[in-house]
Each structure stands twice: as C-alpha cells, then as structure tokens.
Amino acid sequence: DAGVIQSPRHEVTEMGQEVTLRCKPISGHDYLFWYRQTMMRGLELLIYFNNNVPIDDSGMPEDRFSAKMPNASFSTLKIQPSEPRDSAVYFCASSKSRGTKGNTIYFGEGSWLTVV
C-alpha cells in the first residue's frame, strides 16, 4: 500500500488567498484525521471523520477552515482566506477500527504551508 498520500507537499501563498490541501487515505481505513503541527503548539487535531462523516471538528481554529470528505478515498482541508499564522505543517492520517485492540493511525508526509 502506498500509505496516506497528501498534496501539495509544499505550498507558499500570499495572505488572503485560498489554500486547498488534499488527502488520500489508506484503502479500507474508516477514520480520517487532519492534524496541524507547529513549533509552538505541537501536533493538534483539527477534525476527524468516520465513514466519511465529520465526527469532531472542535479543533478547527475558526470559520476560515473547512474540511470535506466526499468519499472514502479523498478529503480536503480548505483555508479561506489564509493568514500568516496559518503557516504550519498539515498532516492527514487514517486508521482502521480494530475494536478493543486500539486504533493506530498512519500519517502522511504532510503539507508544508507558508503564508506570506
């Protein structure tokens, strides 16, 4: 399996522009997560989906952020309008329910976003 695939790997954009990050989870996984990592705040969960349905978006910083999962093999995280403080590495991750064995999640390589 190719693992979790994210695009773009790197993006530099100007403040005010729309940014769309894309993710293809591992086939057969029923959970999908979006995390953000910064030096100051570490790795933070933004939102997660189960069977394509958003379950918890309490980590989404504000209305400028939105996420969708139209099908089991694709998700997007959109920032509109982008601001310099959104500069971070955005990770997509997926996992498969394993009952009482516990969920282990598989991360993509991240999308490095710089807003100038």
Partner 1 sequence: SQKIEQNSEALNIQEGKTATLTCNYTNYSPAYLQWYRQDPGRGPVFLLLIRENEKEKRKERLKVTFDTTLKQSLFHITASQPADSATYLCALDRSNTGKLIFGQGTTLQVKP
Q: Which of 19, 24, 26, 33 binds partner 1 (CB under 8 A)?
A: 33
Task: Check binding of 31 to partner 1 (CB under 8 A).
Answer: yes
The interface mask with partner 1, positions 45-74, x = CB under 8 A, is x--x-x----xx------------------
Query: For the chain, what is the largest distance between any 2 Cα atoms, rounded to a whole number of angstroms?
Result: 45
Q: Which of 4, 8, 27, 113 binds partner 1 (CB under 8 A)?
A: 4
DSSP type of residue 80? S
Beta bridge partners of 13: 115
Q: How far apart are CA 13 and CA 81, in angstroms?
A: 11
Q: Return the amino acid letter for 87.
A: S
93: burial class by Cβ within 10 Å (0-12, 13-18, 19+)? buried
Draw the binding track, 87-106, toward partner 1 (x: CB under 8 A; -: no contact).
----x-x-x----xxxxxxx
The residue (of 31 and 74) whose beta carbon lies closer to partner 1 is: 31
Q: Both tokens of residue 93? A: 């991750």
Site of interaction with partner 1 (CB under 8 A): 4, 31, 33, 42-45, 48, 50, 55-56, 91, 93, 95, 100-110
